[in-house]
Amino acid sequence: MSLTLDTARTVISGARAKGREAGLKPLTVVVLDAGGHVVAVEREDGASNKRFEIAFGKAHGALSLGMGSRALMERAEQQPYFIAAVTNAVGGSLVPVPGGVLVKDAEGALLGAVGITGDTSDNDELAAVSGIEGAGLVAQPGA
Amino acid sequence: MSLTLDTARTVISGARAKGREAGLKPLTVVVLDAGGHVVAVEREDGASNKRFEIAFGKAHGALSLGMGSRALMERAEQQPYFIAAVTNAVGGSLVPVPGGVLVKDAEGALLGAVGITGDTSDNDELAAVSGIEGAGLVAQPGA
Amino acid sequence: MSLTLDTARTVISGARAKGREAGLKPLTVVVLDAGGHVVAVEREDGASNKRFEIAFGKAHGALSLGMGSRALMERAEQQPYFIAAVTNAVGGSLVPVPGGVLVKDAEGALLGAVGITGDTSDNDELAAVSGIEGAGLVAQPGA
Amino acid sequence: MSLTLDTARTVISGARAKGREAGLKPLTVVVLDAGGHVVAVEREDGASNKRFEIAFGKAHGALSLGMGSRALMERAEQQPYFIAAVTNAVGGSLVPVPGGVLVKDAEGALLGAVGITGDTSDNDELAAVSGIEGAGLVAQPGA
């Protein structure tokens, strides 16, 4: 596992604090390791049923193609059939809107990804970046 | 189960009565609890084979994202690739047209959702709202 | 649709009455038409989340092979790999224990199937047969 | 959501403390609400890739049938084809060994479920029960 549970919890804590500070709707935060596997999740009270699946899809999509999910959205705007095809090819879960952010260390090594859903996609991304940077790591929300 | 079977049957009975009164085509009515699980279903004579699956998808989609399926349609108009991706991420059943309506109590607590298909989407939604309100509950057809 | 909604509701009502009379646990009753499509469902309060899916699988399995699900259990005891393979081949839902009962008319014409889950498989079948016969129809629980 | 995120975090914290105290291997702890949806997850450092999926399957299976996963194991020993069929019918995730424990309140109302994997199934269950009881709730590991 390239990202420890303690780090994941720090990222989640920071992202949720940012959400509260900015008055966002209930957030669901998923942290995956570099292999795309779940390390930690928290779904805030009042979030709807499938928010884990959506947040997972943002982070999983980001890791699948090696770019933040904002870049996936840009590609989806240009070539929706490409994103649909890749979603299928990678086994299903890829949500191409902002809020799926790669996590790297200071040297640029990939550690994992964070996916957030609950408010607007832009705000979801804001909370993710805040959580990652608060843990002393580098956030890559786009290409 | 956050919504009793008796309540579900009252909602179905009211929705079907509205359909008859308004001269609608044969309706299929699905009631889910807050967790997205089937409580009761009735498919009227003459409805086509897969109407259960369509009505289920409207209600299941509404609960998955925490908004009536009319709001899902608006999102699908703006970002079709987002709705396609979420459909995939939540395991497949999400029908983004009106007729999937959240059911809440007077305090705003989520009890479940109703999905109806058979006539136009607008009329399907009309019947759902009528059935929910006739049971003394609050209907949320959109965002 | 080979079995009307009114008939389906009569079957469900009779099966649930039998359950109450015999002191069974909360039942979930699914009625399918001859094509294997949902006509009506009721899940009693206190039944667990996936009881619709299990009851559906009993009835759907019975219609898939043209025999009550008690006969599917006998086959599963003898050749588990056959039932596993057929489940896959028919697209997924086939639950080979008693409680999936074919519904026929007096001339032997197939009208649909009933699936029940909630108590022991034997009691589930008892309630299904009672509901079918109470509607003036013929129940086929096995081969 | 029938179980708050704060409660879920308390359960996870207690289960992990029990694991450390008893010298167990790295645990993965999943908490689901009564509808079977993810509330919180923590996977300890050193746990293998798919531990989230396994822990989820224990808790999801328990909620699907309304009994702790130890009871699912007993059923699997008696009728392996039944558990295989139900796994398929409920959409795939049902792991029938101990470690999936229902969470109830003092009045017996179902709040959700905990799934743990990492050590022996018996020890996984021990940690789950400890976490649930430490949060002042009632654990149901079996039928």
D81 closest CB neighbour out of C50, C53, C76 = C76
What's chain B's length in residues? 143
Q: pLDDT digits over A14-73, tens only?
A: 999 999 999 999 999 999 999 999 999 999 999 999 999 999 999 999 999 999 999 999
Name the 3-class secondary structure at B24. Answer: coil
Measuring CA to CA, how many Å separate D138 from each of C14, D6, D80? 36, 17, 29
pLDDT average, residue stretch C78-84: 93
Does D95 or B91 have the greater pLDDT score? D95
- B8/B24 Cα distance (integer angstroms): 21
Q: Give Rg (Cα) of chain A.
A: 14
Instruction: Judge whether residue C98 has pLDDT over 70.
Output: yes
Instruction: Judge whether residue D62 has pLDDT over 80.
Output: yes
Contact A46 D5 (CB under 8 A): no
Contact (CB, 8 A) for D140 and D68: yes
Contact (CB, 8 A) for B135 and B122: no
Q: pLDDT digits over C11-24, tens only?
A: 999 999 999 999 99
CATH classification of the domain holding A17: 3.30.450.150
End-to-end alpha carbon distance in chain D: 24
- DSSP state at residue C118: S
Contact (CB, 8 A) for C51 and B40: no
Which site among D4, D37, D56, D63 would you substitute to test the B interface, given the most B Cβ atoms closer than 10 Å to its Cβ?
A: D37
Contact C35 B47 (CB under 8 A): no
Strand B110-117 and strand B100-104: pairing?
antiparallel
Query: Across-strand partners of B41?
Result: B30, C41
Q: Cβ-count burial of C4 within 10 angstroms (0-12 exposed, 13-18 middle, 19+ buried)? A: middle
- Cα B105 to the center of its chain, rounded Å: 16
pLDDT above 70 coverage of chain C, percent: 99
Contact C41 B40 (CB under 8 A): yes
- Cα A125 to the center of its chain, rounded Å: 8
- A102/D135 Cα distance (integer angstroms): 35
**Chain A contacts of B80, Cβ < 8 Å?**
80
- DSSP state at residue B66: T
Token pair listed for C109:
């014409």
Strand A38-43 and strand D38-43: pairing?
antiparallel
On whether any CB of chain D is under 8 Å from the CB of B34, the answer is: yes
Q: Do chains C and A touch (3 or more CB pairs under 8 A)?
A: no
On whether any CB of chain C is under 8 Å from the CB of D46, the answer is: no
pLDDT computed for residue C20 by the predictor: 98
**Chain A contacts of D117, Cβ < 8 Å?**
none
Interchain CB contacts (distance < 8 Å): B and D: 11
Contact (CB, 8 A) for D119 and D14: no
Query: Across-strand partners of C66?
Result: none
C-alpha closest to that of C14 among B8, C45, B33, C6:
C6
* pLDDT interval class at C58 (50, 70, 90): very high
Q: Domain of A72? A: 5-135
Contact (CB, 8 A) for D96 and D75: yes
pLDDT above 90 coverage of chain B, percent: 96
pLDDT computed for residue C54 by the predictor: 97
Q: Cβ-count burial of B77 within 10 angstroms (0-12 exposed, 13-18 middle, 19+ buried)? A: exposed
pLDDT computed for residue C70 by the predictor: 98
- A22/B21 Cα distance (integer angstroms): 48
Contact D89 C92 (CB under 8 A): yes
**B100 membership: H or E segment, kind and range:** strand B100-104
Q: pLDDT digits over A98-118, tens only?
A: 999 999 999 999 999 999 999
Interchain CB contacts (distance < 8 Å): C and D: 63
* pLDDT interval class at B64 (50, 70, 90): very high
Which site among B1, B6, B16, B60 would you substitute to test the C interface, given the most C Cβ atoms closer than 10 Å to its Cβ?
A: B1
**What are the residues whose beta carbons fall under 8 Å from the beta carbon of A57, sequence distance 6 or more?**
A93, A94, A95, A100, A115, B85, B86, B88, B89
**What are the residues whose beta carbons fall under 8 Å from the beta carbon of D77, sequence distance 6 or more?**
none
Token pair listed for B107:
């305090």
B35 part of a folded domain: yes
B42 part of a folded domain: yes
On whether any CB of chain A is under 8 Å from the CB of B103, the answer is: no
Contact A87 B91 (CB under 8 A): no
C-alpha closest to that of B30 among B60, B1, B68:
B60
Instruction: Judge whether residue B1 has pLDDT over 60.
Output: no
Three-class HEC string of A87-129: HHHCCCCCCCCCCEEEEECCCCCEEEEEEEECCCHHHHHHHHH
Instruction: Judge whether residue C1 has pLDDT over 60.
Output: no
pLDDT computed for residue B2 by the predictor: 82
pLDDT computed for residue D91 by the predictor: 83
pLDDT computed for residue B91 by the predictor: 83
Query: Across-strand partners of D30?
Result: D41, D115
**B110: nearest CA partner in chain D:** D1
pLDDT above 70 coverage of chain A, percent: 99
Instruction: Report how many domains make up chain C.
Output: 1
* pLDDT interval class at C88 (50, 70, 90): confident
Token pair listed for D24:
């167990």
On whether any CB of chain D is under 8 Å from the CB of A52, the answer is: yes
- B83/B97 Cα distance (integer angstroms): 11
Token pair listed for D72:
């699912």
* pLDDT interval class at D2 (50, 70, 90): confident
* pLDDT interval class at D92 (50, 70, 90): confident
**What are the residues whose beta carbons fall under 8 Å from the beta carbon of D34, sequence distance 6 or more?**
B35, C49, D2, D3, D63, D110, D111, D112
* pLDDT interval class at D75 (50, 70, 90): very high
Q: Can you list the alpha helix ranges (DSSP code H) found in B22-120? A: 51-65, 69-78, 80-89
Q: Do chains A and B touch (3 or more CB pairs under 8 A)?
A: yes
pLDDT average, residue stretch D106-123: 97
On whether any CB of chain D is under 8 Å from the CB of A20, the answer is: no
Q: How far is C25 from chain B (nearest CA, A)?
A: 15
On whether any CB of chain C is under 8 Å from the CB of D88, the answer is: yes
On whether any CB of chain A is under 8 Å from the CB of B35, the answer is: yes
On whether any CB of chain A is under 8 Å from the CB of B32, the answer is: no
